Structures are given as structure tokens and as C-alpha cells.
Amino acid sequence: MAKKLPHTSKQMKNRILDEAIKCFAKKGFEGTSIQEIAEAVGIRRPSILYHFQTKEKLREEVLHYLINMWTKEIPRILITAQDGEDRFTSIAMSLVDLFTEDRNRAFYMIREMLDKPDEIGPIVSYAIKPWKLLLVEYIRLGKMMGTIRKDVTPQTFLGAVLILILGIVTFGRTISDIFEIEPATSNDPLIRELLRLTKTSLYHDKNPARRKKTDASRR
């Protein structure tokens, strides 16, 4: 049975990008041909090149497509979040949801980071720069106001969170089997632990007695 094709040019472009992510995740950029992506979409090779003039251009568009999926949610989160902790949790979970909705997205990002680390870093950094600066400033202001721990380095913290999210989505099921975490078919326990670890390492304890004891132990 023939695949039902999208009606509009934008829908077709997004369909190509979605299939390209799956193909790149499975075989890598170098190991995937334009023909394979065309067959996955259900169109001919020239139709891919109509939307994306080169394979390299397609790769670039895939990366921006993924980034835009996440960053378009941030303004809504910043407006609707009740407080700082809620804002952080919502932003982190929006990234978790992006990758768990289709694990190929996480596999693709891991592959790109391994295959082209010198290229992928600057591209992603530039694409998310406004939101990266916003989150860094949020942490900096939280440190000044005393709600965020003084020993937190914003850029390092955000980088660690991204690594943890990608790691859980990519390897979570295997890790759950190794440590007999139930249910092994879901990453939910690991994601909950990720949020607990990141929140406790970012924010001061709201209980004054516990906070005083923790601060004393850090000296």
C-alpha cells in the first residue's frame, strides 16, 4: 500500500526531515543516501533535492528542525511557570518530551556529536544562543538572590543536564535492566531521579535547618 503523502510543501518538508532523522539515527549521516530517505518518505530522489539542494543542506535543516521543536516551547513555559523551580522543571521536561516522543531524535544527536564534534557544537551553540544566555542569566540572578547555590557554574550545569537527558533517553532501558529498575520498559523512574538530582544540586533547601546543616558541611 502506497504511503499517504502530505498535501502542502511545508508538510512534505517536515515529513522529509522526520524520515531523515530516523535514517541518520540508524546509519549515520555518511552511511545514509538521499535515495534511502526518499524511499522512506515514499517519493523520488529529485523531490528531496527540490526541498534541500544538497545532502549537507538537509543535515543542517534537520538540526535546526530539532532545535526549533524545543525552543518554540520556551516562551510559553516562561510565561506559565509559577516560580523558578517550576520553570526549570518545565524546561527540562520539554527537552525530555522532545526526545522521548521519538527516541531517534536522541540517537541522531548522539551520533552527530560523536561523528562531527567540531562541527555540531558551534552550530547548536549558535542556534540556541538566546535561550542559553537567558538560562545562564536566570542562574546568575538566582545566585545573587540566594535561591540558587553559589557553587553552581551555569554553563557547566546546563551542559551536564543535557548530557543526562540524552543519556537517559538513549540508554535508559539498558540501565534499568542492569540495576533492575522497575518498570524496565519505562524511563520514568530515571527521569524523576534526574529532576531530583538537578533540582537539589541547583536550588538551596527551603527548610532553613536542613539548609544551614548542608551549607556547614560544604565548608
- Residue 150 domain-assigned (yes or no): yes
Summarize the confidence of residues 109-114 as an average pLDDT: 93
Name the H helices within 2-153.
9-31, 34-41, 45-51, 55-71, 74-80, 84-101, 103-115, 117-127, 129-145
Q: How far apart are CA 163 and CA 16, in angstroms?
A: 27
pLDDT of the residue at 6: 63
CATH number reported for the structural domain that contains residue 43 in this entry: 1.10.10.60
Summarize the confidence of residues 145-153 as an average pLDDT: 95
- Residue 67 domain-assigned (yes or no): no
End-to-end CA distance of the chain: 68
- Residue 210 domain-assigned (yes or no): no
The answer to whether the peptide bond before residue 183 is cis (omega within 30 degrees of 0) is yes
Mean pLDDT, rounded, of the chain: 88
- Assign 13 a pLDDT band (cuts: 50, 70, 90): very high
Coil, helix or strand for 148? strand
- Residue 216 domain-assigned (yes or no): no
CA proximity to 18, closest of 65, 67, 70: 65
Could you say which of 32, 58, 84 is where a domain stops? 58
Sign of CA dihedral 116, 167, 32, 16: negative
Q: Are residues 120 and 40 in the same domain?
A: no
- Residue 119 domain-assigned (yes or no): yes
pLDDT of the residue at 151: 96
- Residue 209 domain-assigned (yes or no): no
Q: How far apart are CA 30 and CA 39, in angstroms?
A: 17
- Residue 217 domain-assigned (yes or no): no
Sign of CA dihedral 37, 42, 45, 51: negative
Q: Are residues 96 and 151 in the same domain?
A: yes
- Residue 1 domain-assigned (yes or no): no
By residue range, what is the domain housing residue 38? Answer: 8-58
